[in-house]
Structure 1
């Protein structure tokens, strides 16, 4: 139904207040459990290794030497001073290293795909495979960081951008391998398949810090937190507007703090994932869990997304005190489909300020209407203290399946001031609303004339 002005005001039972209370103690426990990386005292300035910040000279050898020296010294800090450093190839981390970009420093990666060979073990849209190396790649590392006020430029707007129109064959091949449980060693992509690499990927890593840097112009996802834990991302600034430029993608990630981040992305600001389809369901013992998102500024396609690749499960996500500084297509978006299986549960969102969106709060188990046989379980979703100035389409959408209903959705103190479609709620049970206003607030009833 189409309601231009609708007031929904449901007074719930007394138990609702207790259920809807934001679980601050759980958030504190997660944050206190996360360990920041520590580093030995060794430091190396890349200028000492022959690097030139002239935007022309290839400085990859200097960065490789710096990592090798850190490894020899059991870790340390690589200092990148002011200048523009061209890298014709990736940076591969070793443990116990802080890559520190000083103010005015920029690392500018080449956009020649051959520079990112040989292939490495990675993931692409929820499927494990071998592909081009991410531009910055850490595999099985502990105590690693990228810090400082400098910039990382992925040069993603030309050659890499052209891959988007050519990726269908490779994408479909990867999904077939996922569904058919093809051995990992046989999942070789790279040249000829046009699957763009992530800008920064931490894979099977622990004790990670990304702080205060600027990220721009990524080829694909910007910061991919894959099968990693004990992660802090704070004070980061984005301006990355190419195809699929998600800001942060935790995937099978555990104990994550994302705070004080300013997003400006061509795709999702934060997209929490947990693998795709058969492979994802086989990894259900390592869901994405215990993720805290707070004090962030959203701008881009969607603010916070859970899914759609979430077959390993997503649980214990806490989002608070965030606002949109520009247009978003959707504010908070929970999405899965009948190919995925898995679960999304125990999600708490509060104190969110949205300006203009297409849809404000959107929960769907039927994303793109795709798939069959593996419907997801969505339950225990809590939204409170959310304001939105305008939704050009829908205020609140909840879409389950008749045989797999979305359960236990709590909405408290929600105000969407202007909207085309107020509420669409189908195949859900125990949806409880308290102080929910969609459209113009009603006042006292008018008197008879």
Structure 2
């Protein structure tokens, strides 16, 4: 099997680390120049031409795959799902130069039977490489792909696969042990007979990816999961699914990512930036870097904007602005643990409004669900968070907590106001922390 890492081993290094320029936001324009949405020939391949029917009880998958094959072999274009309800008994597998386009009023309904997502395919599950059930929309090592339009993808996760979480622990532990012990990938075969839920939309080792305009509902697991990809745009997408672990968008070990104008109503994090888990990710060594997030709304059961916790490959150069968080557990959240190693650095966030959070407005947590005391702490350094307005945080306002041997470093928070919280400020095991015009509970906050 061709490694899904080959694509990224030749990618350019990150534009810069901490201290890029006097105004680090200038870096956004440089990243944008490297991100261009794929362009497709002006040719349409309606799936009805190949036998798909507006009948939610009839399997349109053979017709969809045939249209994708023809479109790609002709050099590209749009594979069109017209208005209507179309059933897909298994995964849609995208090929190079194909734009899967759902017209307004179109609904693509996926099978709830896990057997339809076999054979197992290469992926990562919670940051560890594995052969597992295919994601519902999958692409592997292809270029110039898109999912666009005003239609809806319906994963039907709640009918079966999304309910597996209470029974997944044995498989979860087995896979994590394999990753820690660096068991060869070809021996990590799960899928049939196992309970590791597949993602909804997952391009793997792809270049030039566009996901735009669509609505995604009832996901079995993580919703949009670009993995080992370069040049990814997620724009104008509506994610409305609240099953367990329904993260909205999880770019993982990706280079040059733009997420903008999206709405996330999710059962877990709105956005969670990742780069793999523990020893398995150290082996690969592929960070997520150069990420732009802007003009997004997070109505999340868990966190709004999150980095972690699977970040063993590192995360750097993240620029997020103009975010609205009407409800979440933590609004802005950086998390890792003592198994991860890696780093989170050069993070810039501005212009955030959070109405109500059940925990903390801004939180640094390096000891999140540590499974051992291996003492591989993650390096947190280089954060600027500014122009944040919060209503209520039920536990604390700002929590910056590091380890004595690995403190959180170089954090500036300025122009932050929070109306009400029981504990305004927690700072421990942290160095070079700067607070400027931070008002919580009507009082100016200063460091102890």
Do these two structures clear the TM 0.5 threshold for a shared fold by scoring above it? yes
Residues in 2 aligned to 1:109 and 1:380: alpha-carbon distance in whole angstroms = 43
Residues in 1 aligned to 2:92 and 2:23: alpha-carbon distance in whole angstroms = 40
Residues in 2 aligned to 1:136 and 1:143: alpha-carbon distance in whole angstroms = 15
1:271 to partner: Cα distance: 0.3
- The answer on 1:373 being equivalent to 2:375 is yes
Give the match for residue 289 of structure 1.
Answer: 289
What secondary structure is seen at the aligned counterpart in 1 of 2:53? coil
1:130 to partner: Cα distance: 0.2
1:441 to partner: Cα distance: 3.9
1:388 to partner: Cα distance: 0.3
Give the match for residue 273 of structure 2.
Answer: 272
Residues in 1 aligned to 2:441 and 2:207: alpha-carbon distance in whole angstroms = 46
1:36 to partner: Cα distance: 1.2
Task: Give the greater-gyration-radius structure (CA).
Answer: 1
- 8 A Cα contact 1:366 1:399, kept in partner: no
1:238 to partner: Cα distance: 1.3
Cα offsets for 1:46-93 (capped at 9, x unmatched): 111111112111101111111111122122210111001111100001
1:155 to partner: Cα distance: 0.2
1:379 to partner: Cα distance: 0.3
1:216 to partner: Cα distance: 0.6
What secondary structure is seen at the aligned counterpart in 1 of 2:33? helix
What secondary structure is seen at the aligned counterpart in 1 of 2:321? strand
Residues in 2 aligned to 1:68 and 1:322: alpha-carbon distance in whole angstroms = 39
Residues in 2 aligned to 1:241 and 1:69: alpha-carbon distance in whole angstroms = 36
What secondary structure is seen at the aligned counterpart in 2 of 1:409? strand
Give the match for residue 425 of structure 1.
Answer: 427
Give the match for residue 321 of structure 1.
Answer: 322
Residues in 1 aligned to 2:442 and 2:21: alpha-carbon distance in whole angstroms = 25
Give the match for residue 355 of structure 1.
Answer: 355
- 8 A Cα contact 1:169 1:193, kept in partner: no
Residues in 1 aligned to 2:284 and 2:345: alpha-carbon distance in whole angstroms = 17
1:304-343 pair list within 5 angstroms: 304-324=305-325, 326-343=326-343
Contiguous gaps of at least 5 residues in structure 1: 1-17, 443-449
What secondary structure is seen at the aligned counterpart in 2 of 1:298? strand
Give the match for residue 218 of structure 2.
Answer: 217
- 8 A Cα contact 1:330 1:359, kept in partner: yes
What secondary structure is seen at the aligned counterpart in 2 of 1:178? helix
Residues in 2 aligned to 1:368 and 1:195: alpha-carbon distance in whole angstroms = 19
Cα offsets for 1:233-288 (capped at 9, x unmatched): 1100111110100000000011000000011001100000000000112222x210
- Using the size of structure 1 for normalisation, the TM-score is 0.92
Give the match for residue 394 of structure 1.
Answer: 396
Give the match for residue 116 of structure 2.
Answer: 115
Residues in 2 aligned to 1:402 and 1:190: alpha-carbon distance in whole angstroms = 42
Residues in 2 aligned to 1:336 and 1:116: alpha-carbon distance in whole angstroms = 31
Give the match for residue 56 of structure 1.
Answer: 57
Residues in 2 aligned to 1:97 and 1:159: alpha-carbon distance in whole angstroms = 30
Give the match for residue 94 of structure 2.
Answer: 93
What secondary structure is seen at the aligned counterpart in 2 of 1:226? coil
Q: Specify which structure has the bigger relative contact order, considering alpha-carbon pairs within 8 angstroms and separated by 6 or more residues.
A: 1
Residues in 2 aligned to 1:21 and 1:215: alpha-carbon distance in whole angstroms = 40
Deviating 4+ runs (over 6 angstroms): 18-21
- 8 A Cα contact 1:340 1:375, kept in partner: yes
1:114 to partner: Cα distance: 0.4
Q: Cα distance 1:367–1:72, how it changes in 2: closer, same or farther (>3 A)? A: same
Contiguous gaps of at least 5 residues in structure 2: 1-18
1:22 to partner: Cα distance: 5.6
- The answer on 1:299 being equivalent to 2:299 is yes
Give the match for residue 15 of structure 2.
Answer: none
- 8 A Cα contact 1:42 1:73, kept in partner: no
Cα offsets for 1:373-401 (capped at 9, x unmatched): 21111101111000100101110011111
Give the match for residue 34 of structure 2.
Answer: 33
1:158 to partner: Cα distance: 2.0
- Using the size of structure 2 for normalisation, the TM-score is 0.92
What secondary structure is seen at the aligned counterpart in 1 of 2:166? helix
What secondary structure is seen at the aligned counterpart in 2 of 1:157? helix
Give the match for residue 410 of structure 2.
Answer: 408
Give the match for residue 234 of structure 1.
Answer: 235
Moved more, 148-157 or 159-168: 159-168
- 8 A Cα contact 1:22 1:348, kept in partner: no
Give the match for residue 163 of structure 1.
Answer: 164
Residues in 2 aligned to 1:273 and 1:237: alpha-carbon distance in whole angstroms = 21
Q: Cα distance 1:36–1:20, how it changes in 2: closer, same or farther (>3 A)? A: closer
Q: Cα distance 1:20–1:419, how it changes in 2: closer, same or farther (>3 A)? A: farther
Give the match for residue 154 of structure 1.
Answer: 155
1:116-265 pair list within 5 angstroms: 116-265=117-266
1:19 to partner: Cα distance: 9.9
Moved more, 185-194 or 69-78: 69-78
What secondary structure is seen at the aligned counterpart in 1 of 2:266? coil
1:166 to partner: Cα distance: 1.2
